[in-house]
Chain A
Amino acid sequence: MSFVHPALLWGLLAAGIPLAVHLFFRRRPRPTPFPAIEFVLRARRETQRRLRLKKVLLFTARTLLLGAVAFAIARPQAQRGGGAAAAVARGPRATAVVLDASGSMRYRLGGRPLFDRARQDALRALAELAPEEPATAVVCGMDPVQVEPPSFDRAAVRRVLESAQATAGYGDLTACVTAAVRALAAARAQDGLPKRLVVATDLAASAWRLDVPAPAVDGPKGPVRPEVTILDAARGADLPNHAVVGLDAEPDPAAGPRGYRFTALLSNHAKEPLADVPLSLVVGTGPSARTAIRAFAEVPANGTSRKTLLHAFPQGGPAAVKVALPQDALADDDARALAIVVPREIRALVVDGAPSPVKYRDEAYFVESALASPASPVRPRLVDAEAFPQEDLSKVDVVLLLNVRSVGARAAELARFVEGGGGLFVAVGDQVDPELYGRELGELLPMSLHVEKSAAGPDAAGGPRAARFAEVDFEHPALSIFQGDAREGLLGVRTSRYLLAKPRPGGGGARVLARFDDGAPALVEARRGRGRVLLFTSTADHDWTDWPIRTSFLPAMQRFAGFLAGALEERREPPAPVGARRTIRLDDGEALVALVDPGGRELGRAELERSGLAEPSAGLVEWTPREPGLWQVKVRSRGEERVEPRLAFAVTPEPRESDTRRLAPAELTAWFGGEGHARVEGGGRAVAGGREVPLWSVLLALGVAAFFLEGLLLA
């Protein structure tokens, strides 16, 4: 016997109410003096047996009434017996039981996950096998499929099914069924036995690939189709589901400083459209989480829609956001999390080596404009070369020297600034004396400056000869934003003059980001201590190059500032789907203590190692998250344990599992070879008729009969 709503079986406790009332709520008899007590005694003696019988019947009727109604509400279904006897009649078969453990099986129907029903179906199918029928089990989730050949160890097969858990990832039932058939065929000792597949699933169409041939077993007379029984865990019911299937975050100046535009892709796999469904943007994690935006969305039936939400973060740094729809029967995909790094404010000191009252002739005009543009994370402050010595370098993140003749006595301080983690950008010009720079900045520069060079001769277009960028390292974080057509904005820069830079012996840690087409270094980067230095061998105004007036200049300067300030490394890896390997990069001195799952449960190091945690090298930890949502990382650093926001990462649910639209049973049976080979059981729309007999109507009739019996007895 099975139940459509087993959770409602708690209602059976109501059958104990009459007993409880009898035991605990019995009315105390009121003492009453009465002269004719002799008659009461005689009457009681004469009617005692009848009364006792009446009471027993009344108690039984009431208990039966409540019990039958509670039992009926749980919708019991009797299983038609005779499975084993039927097996004897048709002869033994080798059977593979495939249990769908994909993400859609977490769908709750009637308060109970489909996976539980499917497992119950699979176990019942296993129990109905005759002892001489070998069997195997395949759990089809996001993990790689492992199939043992059919055996007579029924307990082992049952253990496989009983220990299976519904995963959050994608399960390819076509692949699992193929693997199961392959396993059935692999047992040569069972060659003579017919093959049978039992698939317990929700019939979600996304799990099947019906464009490939159905699996078959090679027989002496060619491929033989196995007999297939599909056990529909949804019992023919539709599985409407809405989901957040995508979430993108892009900086958006329209939202203000540190403003972001979040674009959520919503899907609705139901016959009815979603209208005015609440959509919320939650910022933060744990107790500090707050709903920043409440909006409404509309999603057409069996369609998708996009919803854009704007939010400005109050401060820079790591942040976690979540876009959520109201929870439905499949809760995994109702929210999608994202871990981002909101750009921190970068304080830049721009030292103007050639100021001019005419703006566009000012050496720092273009740089300052690029850095101070709206939505830029950089806050530039402009000083001329004479004022530079008075500046406090501890209050800036990056120093930009633009055509500065000399740093004079501040050279040593500047070197300490870089060694301590500061960034230095150097652009040259007619004020720069390479020899003087060599003396003052010495080893600080990535390469030593040499001589000025002019591009000679006309170019191919007949204009003045100009050098162009070549061999650009687009993999470098500072230049990686230039993708596709955007690269043209960089490669089209024309430079007429520049300083030649000479590599130091041994390289000096320099990395050339771009060269001119004659091979001369144009952009050179080097690390000095904890800081970085970037050298541009031409001017930051348009005296020697037209780069400042090109579209690539503004993003490039902002990226340079971010790179020099170390802000670009704070980028997050994009969210990976559930089941994908994740790399966690720890800083020096940090050790992983635990991971906090999206539900707030802490997984200790030992538990993580049991579930596949690996540490390929120092500071690198790899692990496979199995649940969607935002994961947080707890580390130990300097003897202190803390949840490190920088390391939090988002895991997205598998979008294919959000599509709960079901296959028509006829379509699936046709793929398996028609009704002669396959049948679907367990639903009102079953092709081959269900074997479950509903009992609730009988129970309700019993309850009504008990009700009338009670009335009769009371009358």
Chain B
Amino acid sequence: MPEPKRPLLDPAVLAKLDSLKLRVRAITEGVLTGLHKSPHHGQSVEFAEHKEYAPGDEIRHIDWKAYGKFDKYYVKQFEQETNLRAYLVVDASGSMGYRADPGRLTKLEYASALAASLAYLLVRQQDAAGLVLVQDRVAASVPPRATANHLAPILDALEGAKAGGTTRLSAAVDWIIEHAQRRSSVLVFSDLFDPEERILKKLAQLGRRKHEVTLFHVLDPAELEFPFDDPTLFLSMEDDRQVEAHGRDVRKGYLEVLHRWLDEVRRTAAEADVDYALCRTDRPLDEVLLPFLARRERSAA
């Protein structure tokens, strides 16, 4: 019996988000008028100041009234509001297909729901949202657009994503560096089970290119608590590795290793100016989105 398709856009979650405005920091440039302040002076709908004309300035921006008063050429400058250009990077590797409890979402489903919710909010306020599905390479991509009907291909791509293959987030980083000409917000949804150990350093490259990086670290509760008590043959979901262990025997060691790794991830993310949020797939999505959006709004203010 086929499993019913999960609603990627949970109305309850979206209703809570309706009062919030997604603001990115001032360094993000855009073309659409919005709530986000542009770092560039130029075409604008709101006058900012005059400047003396210099060769190269747009002649059509010369203030002829000022010329009549002061007999000098002044050019009008505007503080232009622009939209956000966001890349939603969703890890669709094999490990993201895991769920310990059949009643819960897989990590990929959870990440897709998060990404779709954010895409909806972005598009609704005229921001551009794009999608990058990554496995061992970029499996699919949707360029950022701010039109309402652009949401459909993003949702289609997310719903059609199948977990498989190994994780190589660096492929997504390289893809964004290549395709994002302007400053963008990069939202990464991944479990970070990447054989490439320095993947966070790689994400930090985006920061150095003025992209704003947010990492949604999606993990299943079983990965965080290791609730296995019996002899278990653990099978890797991305390669052929397998290990037989008694859950009770290795739990303590596993949790120690896991917490060391989480601490390392948090520390590295902070050093690379990467926003970090740990997402348990048994928690409601709004518990992840609301703090994230609130934090964004505060930083934008």
- With contacts A39-B261, A44-B243 taken as known, whether A33 is within 8 angstroms of B98 at the C-beta atoms is yes
Across the interface, B231 reaches (CB within 8 A) one of A30, A33, A36, A40, namely A30
Report if A41 contacts B (CB, 8 A): yes
Q: Which residues of A118-150 are within 8 A (CB) of B?
A: none
Expressed in whole angstroms, the minimum distance between the Cβ of A715 and any Cβ of chain B is 12
Expressed in whole angstroms, the minimum distance between the Cβ of A41 and any Cβ of chain B is 5
Report if B228 contacts A (CB, 8 A): yes
Across the interface, A35 reaches (CB within 8 A) one of B223, B231, B244, B245, namely B223
Question: Which residues of chain B are within 8 angstroms of A28 by Cβ–Cβ distance?
Answer: 231
- With contacts A35-B95, A36-B223 taken as known, whether A43 is within 8 angstroms of B235 at the C-beta atoms is no
State whether A40 touches B254 (Cβ < 8 A): yes
State whether B257 touches A35 (Cβ < 8 A): no
Question: Which residues of chain B are within 8 angstroms of A40 by Cβ–Cβ distance?
Answer: 234, 243, 245, 250, 254
- With contacts A34-B98, A39-B258 taken as known, whether A29 is within 8 angstroms of B241 at the C-beta atoms is no
Q: Please name the residue on chain A nearest to B255 by beta carbon.
A: A43
Expressed in whole angstroms, the minimum distance between the Cβ of A154 and any Cβ of chain B is 58
Question: Which residues of chain B are within 8 angstroms of A485 by Cβ–Cβ distance?
Answer: none
Report if B193 contacts A (CB, 8 A): yes
Q: Which residues of A18-40 are within 8 A (CB) of B?
A: 27-40
- Give Cα distance in the complex from A607 to B241, angstroms: 74
State whether B257 touches A32 (Cβ < 8 A): no
Expressed in whole angstroms, the minimum distance between the Cβ of A521 and any Cβ of chain B is 106
Report if B237 contacts A (CB, 8 A): yes
- Give Cα distance in the complex from A29 to B247, angstroms: 10
Q: Which residues of B78-113 are within 8 A (CB) of A?
A: 94-96, 98, 107
- With contacts A30-B231, A32-B228, A35-B193 taken as known, whether A46 is within 8 angstroms of B243 at the C-beta atoms is no
A28, A30, A36, A46, most chain B CB atoms within 10 A? A36
Report if B191 contacts A (CB, 8 A): yes
One digit per residue, 1 when the CB lies within 8 angstroms of any chain A CB and 0 when it does not, for chain B 57-70 equals 00000000000000
State whether A36 touches B258 (Cβ < 8 A): yes
- With contacts A39-B261, A41-B243, A46-B257 taken as known, whether A34 is within 8 angstroms of B250 at the C-beta atoms is no
State whether B245 touches A44 (Cβ < 8 A): yes
Q: Which residues of B182-222 are within 8 A (CB) of A?
A: 191, 193, 220, 222
Report if A51 contacts B (CB, 8 A): yes
Question: Which residues of chain B are within 8 angstroms of A37 by Cβ–Cβ distance?
Answer: 234-237, 241-243
One digit per residue, 1 when the CB lies within 8 angstroms of any chain B CB and 0 when it does not, for chain A 36-63 equals 1111111110110001001000000000
State whether B193 touches A38 (Cβ < 8 A): yes
Expressed in whole angstroms, the minimum distance between the Cβ of B90 and any Cβ of chain A is 16
Q: Please name the residue on chain B nearest to A37 by beta carbon.
A: B236
Expressed in whole angstroms, the minimum distance between the Cβ of A713 and any Cβ of chain B is 11
Report if B253 contacts A (CB, 8 A): yes
Question: Which residues of chain B are within 8 angstroms of A54 by Cβ–Cβ distance?
Answer: 249
State whether B223 touches A51 (Cβ < 8 A): no
Question: Which residues of chain A are within 8 angstroms of B222 by Cβ–Cβ distance?
Answer: 34
Q: Which residues of B247-301 are within 8 A (CB) of A?
A: 249-250, 252-254, 256-258, 261
State whether B237 touches A33 (Cβ < 8 A): yes
Report if B140 contacts A (CB, 8 A): no
- With contacts A38-B193, A47-B249, A51-B249 taken as known, whether A32 is within 8 angstroms of B233 at the C-beta atoms is yes
Report if B232 contacts A (CB, 8 A): yes
Question: Which residues of chain B are within 8 angstroms of A35 by Cβ–Cβ distance?
Answer: 94-96, 98, 107, 191, 193, 220, 223, 236-238
Across the interface, B241 reaches (CB within 8 A) one of A39, A41, A42, namely A41
Report if B18 contacts A (CB, 8 A): no
State whether A47 touches B98 (Cβ < 8 A): no
- Give Cα distance in the complex from A51 to B244, angstroms: 13
Across the interface, B257 reaches (CB within 8 A) one of A29, A30, A39, A51, namely A39
Across the interface, A29 reaches (CB within 8 A) one of B94, B95, B244, namely B244
Report if B230 contacts A (CB, 8 A): yes
Q: Please name the residue on chain B nearest to A26 by beta carbon.
A: B231
- Give Cα distance in the complex from A46 to B234, angstroms: 17
State whether B98 touches A44 (Cβ < 8 A): no
Across the interface, B232 reaches (CB within 8 A) one of A32, A42, A43, namely A32
Interface size class of A (residues with CB under 8 A): 20 to 34
State whether B235 touches A30 (Cβ < 8 A): no
A27, A35, A37, A42, most chain B CB atoms within 10 A? A35
Question: Which residues of chain A are within 8 angstroms of B96 by Cβ–Cβ distance?
Answer: 35
- Give Cα distance in the complex from A44 to B94, angstroms: 23
State whether A34 touches B257 (Cβ < 8 A): no
Expressed in whole angstroms, the minimum distance between the Cβ of A474 and any Cβ of chain B is 94
- Give Cα distance in the complex from A44 to B245, angstroms: 8
Question: Which residues of chain A are within 8 angstroms of B237 by Cβ–Cβ distance?
Answer: 33-35, 37
Question: Which residues of chain B are within 8 angstroms of A38 by Cβ–Cβ distance?
Answer: 193
- Give Cα distance in the complex from A27 to B258, angstroms: 27
Question: Which residues of chain B are within 8 angstroms of A47 by Cβ–Cβ distance?
Answer: 249-250, 252-253
Expressed in whole angstroms, the minimum distance between the Cβ of B255 and any Cβ of chain A is 8
Question: Which residues of chain B are within 8 angstroms of A43 by Cβ–Cβ distance?
Answer: 245, 250, 252-254, 256-257
Question: Which residues of chain A are within 8 angstroms of B253 by Cβ–Cβ distance?
Answer: 42-44, 46-47
- Give Cα distance in the complex from A262 to B241, angstroms: 87
- Give Cα distance in the complex from A47 to B250, angstroms: 7
Question: Which residues of chain A are within 8 angstroms of B94 by Cβ–Cβ distance?
Answer: 35
State whether A39 touches B233 (Cβ < 8 A): no
- Give Cα distance in the complex from A325 to B77, angstroms: 127
Question: Which residues of chain B are within 8 angstroms of A34 by Cβ–Cβ distance?
Answer: 98, 222-223, 234-237
Question: Which residues of chain A are within 8 angstroms of B223 by Cβ–Cβ distance?
Answer: 34-36
- Give Cα distance in the complex from A38 to B235, angstroms: 10
Expressed in whole angstroms, the minimum distance between the Cβ of A47 and any Cβ of chain B is 4
Expressed in whole angstroms, the minimum distance between the Cβ of B95 and any Cβ of chain A is 4
Q: Please name the residue on chain B nearest to A42 by beta carbon.
A: B257
Expressed in whole angstroms, the minimum distance between the Cβ of A56 and any Cβ of chain B is 13
Q: Please name the residue on chain A nearest to B222 by beta carbon.
A: A34
State whether A29 touches B232 (Cβ < 8 A): yes
- With contacts A40-B243, A43-B256, A43-B257 taken as known, whether A32 is within 8 angstroms of B249 at the C-beta atoms is no
Across the interface, A33 reaches (CB within 8 A) one of B228, B235, B243, B245, namely B235
Q: Which residues of A39-92 are within 8 A (CB) of B?
A: 39-44, 46-47, 51, 54
- Give Cα distance in the complex from A40 to B241, angstroms: 11
Q: Please name the residue on chain B nearest to A27 by beta carbon.
A: B231
Expressed in whole angstroms, the minimum distance between the Cβ of A709 and any Cβ of chain B is 18
- Give Cα distance in the complex from A33 to B98, angstroms: 8
State whether A29 touches B254 (Cβ < 8 A): no
Question: Which residues of chain A are within 8 angstroms of B252 by Cβ–Cβ distance?
Answer: 43, 47
Expressed in whole angstroms, the minimum distance between the Cβ of B250 and any Cβ of chain A is 5
Question: Which residues of chain A are within 8 angstroms of B230 by Cβ–Cβ distance?
Answer: 27, 29-30
Question: Which residues of chain A are within 8 angstroms of B250 by Cβ–Cβ distance?
Answer: 40, 43-44, 47, 51
State whether A39 touches B254 (Cβ < 8 A): yes
Expressed in whole angstroms, the minimum distance between the Cβ of A323 and any Cβ of chain B is 64
A31, A34, A46, most chain B CB atoms within 10 A? A34
Question: Which residues of chain B are within 8 angstroms of A44 by Cβ–Cβ distance?
Answer: 243, 245, 250, 253
- Give Cα distance in the complex from A458 to B170, angstroms: 156
State whether B235 touches A32 (Cβ < 8 A): yes
Expressed in whole angstroms, the minimum distance between the Cβ of B74 and any Cβ of chain A is 62
Question: Which residues of chain A are within 8 angstroms of B95 by Cβ–Cβ distance?
Answer: 35
Q: Please name the residue on chain B nearest to A34 by beta carbon.
A: B234
Q: Please name the residue on chain B nearest to A43 by beta carbon.
A: B253
Across the interface, B193 reaches (CB within 8 A) one of A30, A33, A36, namely A36
Question: Which residues of chain A are within 8 angstroms of B228 by Cβ–Cβ distance?
Answer: 32
Question: Which residues of chain B are within 8 angstroms of A27 by Cβ–Cβ distance?
Answer: 230-231
- Give Cα distance in the complex from A248 to B234, angstroms: 83
Q: Please name the residue on chain A nearest to B163 by beta carbon.
A: A35
Q: Which residues of A234-252 are within 8 A (CB) of B?
A: none
- Which are the 6 A-B pairs with shortest beta-carbon distances? A43-B253, A35-B95, A29-B231, A43-B254, A29-B233, A47-B253
Q: Give me 25 A-to-B residue pairs in the complex whose CB atoms sit less than 8 angstroms apart, sorted by A's number.
A: A27-B231, A28-B231, A29-B232, A31-B235, A32-B228, A32-B234, A32-B235, A33-B234, A34-B98, A35-B94, A35-B95, A35-B191, A35-B237, A35-B238, A36-B223, A37-B236, A39-B258, A40-B245, A40-B254, A41-B243, A43-B254, A43-B256, A44-B245, A47-B253, A51-B249
5 more CB-based (< 8 A) A-B contacts, given A29-B244, A30-B231: A29-B232, A32-B234, A35-B220, A39-B261, A46-B257
